[in-house]
Amino acid sequence: MDRSILSITPDKQITTLIKQNRYRLVDHVIHKDGRIFIACLSGELLVANPDGSELKPVTSRSNGKPQSPSDLAFDSKGNLYVTDFIGNAANPTGGVYRWSSDLQSVELLGQIS
């Protein structure tokens, strides 16, 4: 299965920024500096340059978590917020994590268990 992130210009030109089959992409968000942050079902949190090059993992974790990053958002200071939903509708578990703007530290903000 092909998994891609596309860019569409105002004049409707479509460009493939990231195309690969290794990761199951769930969500992505663009930082104010243009970097693309990507959550994957397999547990990876990835970052790529604005042109899609140099796709690499964000390695900072909080006790090995999140395990299944999902929703992504940035605040005005450049901190990255990530949800981690590892349960199901009958047994919801997971949490919300915040990465510092330099991606060197991550903390659990709230947990569902």
pLDDT beyond 90 at 112: no
Architecture of domain 24-112: Beta Barrel (2.40)
Tokens, residue 87: 């349960």
pLDDT recorded at residue 31: 95
Residue 56: which residues within 8 A CB-CB, separation 6 or more?
A: 46, 47, 48
Q: What is the pLDDT of residues 7-49, one digit of tens each?
A: 899 999 999 999 888 888 889 999 999 999 999 888 889 999 9
What gap in Å lies between CA 6 and CA 9, rounded to an integer?
10
- Closest among 71, 77, 60 to 95, alpha carbons compared: 71
What average pLDDT does range 50-69 have in this prediction? Answer: 86
pLDDT(1) > 60: no
- Supply the mean pLDDT for the chain: 89
Burial of 106 (0-12, 13-18, 19+ CB in 10 A): buried
What is the structure's pLDDT at 2? 60
Alpha-carbon distance of 36 to 53, in angstroms, equals 10
